[in-house]
Amino acid sequence: MSVCWPNLPKDVKRIIVEPLCRIDRLNLRQCSWGDKLFVDLVSKPIREVNFMASRSYIIIRYDEEYEDYFGHSEGNTEVRRSKNLLPFNSFSMSEDFQIVAWRSLQKMMKSQNNEIDTLNFSFIGRLNFNEEDNEPQIIIPNLPEKTLNVRKLSIFLDSSEEMTKRIVQFAKPGLDSLNVSITVKNVNDPSEMGSLEQLKTAKKIRSNLMLTLNHSMELEGDEVINKTTLINDEGVVELLKKSLSSGKPSKFHYNRLWPDIPTIVSSFDSIAWSLETSEQFDNLGNHFKIDLSKKNFILSNDNSSLFVEFDKFSARGFILNKQ
């Protein structure tokens, strides 16, 4: 007796359907009414959410396969939704488009038990409107009541620091990756976000927040891109010494406008990079693209060494060995 799809037990069908992508599920659900109902009952976790906000609309994409559009239209909200790669379903609501969009995100995250692999926020344009412009004011994010268990969190472009802080605070500490690349209004004011556990404990962090030296020293990540402008030459020395003594970060990039290279290098046992030196570290190319036009050094302290590249804007490099 041959085995065919209609005769398979539901438990076996579930095992087959669960790993399928949504395109394959769409094809299967079109085979018959019974298959449509079964496929719709077998949930598939959402892995990535992209939340994109502008002056007049918000788009939320889930795994690049679902898309929700919320548009501002004379005080009402135009909603367009596409699910399972089907055509858009359109309707209107009398509420503000931002409230509707944040509520929709909250509902989706709740359906995923507030667990997600990747969550990206991008804010485009001048979102903090003036009242005289007769434009809606940006609202504080209406995020889930429970903290989010997210592996990778990114916040881009014109997000205010207040909004960015609210979003970051809703993620549990211990992120695999945290990327905060927002518009900074005043590069002289230290960020209020510097003390957040989410920044301190992220394994990989990219930040252009104005972090103080103390907050920069508290970052525990293995890879750190720290673009604060509040670090001087002595601060760079302290951060490099931290990598040598603790092994973290093992890969780093620190902003420093016109670093005083002799002052920084003199705090370590140093070797200027050369072709002869490169023969001793023939595996460097696997870690770092070396620009020979820049100032490169091997800096050592006790039994540990760093490769550091200086240019007129930064000091960056990685640990060569840690014993």
pLDDT score at 215 = 97
Q: How far apart are CA 296 and CA 310, in angstroms?
A: 6
Q: How far is CA 39 from the centre of its chain?
A: 32
pLDDT score at 280 = 62
Quick check: bond before 249 cis, omega within 30? yes
pLDDT score at 217 = 97
Domain boundaries, position 23 = 1-44
pLDDT score at 130 = 46
Can you give the pTM of this predicted structure? 0.81
Q: Give domain status of residue 133, yes or no.
A: no
Total domains present in the chain: 2
Q: How far apart are CA 63 and CA 287, in angstroms?
A: 31
96 close to 77: Cβ distance less than 8 angstroms: yes
Report, as ranges of residue numbers, the positions in the chain whose pLDDT lies below 50: 1, 127-132, 323
pLDDT score at 129 = 44
Closest by Cα among 170, 166, 207, 167 to 190: 207
Q: How far apart are CA 106 and CA 114, in angstroms?
A: 9
Q: Give domain status of residue 15, yes or no.
A: yes
Q: Give domain status of residue 210, yes or no.
A: no
Q: Give domain status of residue 125, yes or no.
A: no
pLDDT score at 286 = 56
pLDDT score at 83 = 72
